[in-house]
Amino acid sequence: MDQIITFGLTNAGTAALLALVAAGIARFTQRPALWYTLWLVVLLRLLAPPIFGVDVAIPDLGQTTADRETAVVSVSGGAVTVADNERSLSPAAVIATIWAAGAMVVIGFAIAQSIQLRQILRTSEPASEIISDRVARLAHELGLRRAPPTVQVLDRVPPMLWAFLGSVRLILPTELLSRLDRDQTDTLLAHELAHLGRRDHWVRHLELAALALFWWNPVAWWATRRVRRAQELCCDQRVAELLPENRRAYA
């Protein structure tokens, strides 16, 4: 139990130092790809085995808060005996229990979101032939081996990639598509396909693992937000490179 707590605190400390370095470099550079790499290293540092060990002394709270003395009375043959029964509560066990409970909450929230999205997908329809053709053309120009299946939904959700067990779908809200012209639609599709080309959907699993294990550590949430921000900026740059004539429409 103590080894688990030591692992968490050691990795949290080293990740915090790396996060400060990443934040400092990002402040003085304008390279989203570099930001992404640095913040990804912070997430990996949280999950990787500790570089060094730190002895963590957990105070024994058993004598002050958890010991309970109870009298057990037994009657046998007219004689009465009183026995003391002591119960002690391990602080390490309490910390581990709280830690695990928080991890389950984070994972449960992610599962709930996935179930909600799957319910939305049940009412989805294949994208129109025009949209499918644009997706195929842009996927080819981005160097993807094949275009992902594209569906349209009536729910008000943002355009997104949905990955489950190796299957990837491009989800587009019908209402949004109806308000965009051709150039705007192309930039939107290119942005989502750029995420696919970068394999950003796989990084979501890493983020979930880091947040589940280190939900109590602000660095995990900070790094996750910065990774996603860097991903968006990298995809914006890719769209600008692929469709320079559509920069104004993209903005």
Tens of pLDDT, residue by residue over 230-239, are 999 999 999 9
Q: Is the pLDDT of residue 86 over 60?
A: no
Question: Which position has the higher pLDDT, 216 or 248?
Answer: 216
- Of the candidate ranges 42-56, 106-120, 150-164, 183-197, the one whose mean pLDDT is the lowest: 42-56
Portion of the chain with pLDDT greater than 90, in percent: 67
177 versus 74: which is more confidently predicted? 177
DSSP element (H, E) containing 168: strand 167-173
Q: Which two tokens stand for residue 138?
A: 């842009």
For the segment 182-186, the average pLDDT, to the nearest whole number, is: 94
Task: State pLDDT tens for residues 203-225.
Answer: 999 999 999 999 999 999 999 99
Token reading at 5: 């707590």
| 38-to-23, 80, 199, 212 alpha-carbon distances in Å | 9, 71, 17, 21
Q: Give the lowest-confidence range in 1-15, 175-189, 198-212.
A: 1-15
- Rounded to the nearest integer, the mean pLDDT of the chain is 86
Predicted confidence (pLDDT) per residue in 117-137, tens digit: 989 889 899 999 999 999 999
User: Residues 41, 16: contact at Cβ < 8 Å?
Assistant: no
State the CB neighbour count (10 A cutoff) for residue 241: 10
Distances (CA, A) of 18 to 14, 39, 59, 208: 6, 8, 29, 19
pLDDT value for 56: 52
> Out of 8-12, 42-46, 179-183, 231-235, which region has the weakest mean confidence (pLDDT)?
8-12
CB count within 10 Å of CB 144 equals: 16
Q: Positive or negative, the Cα torsion across 62, 66, 67, 73?
A: negative
Instruction: Name the DSSP class of 49.
Output: P
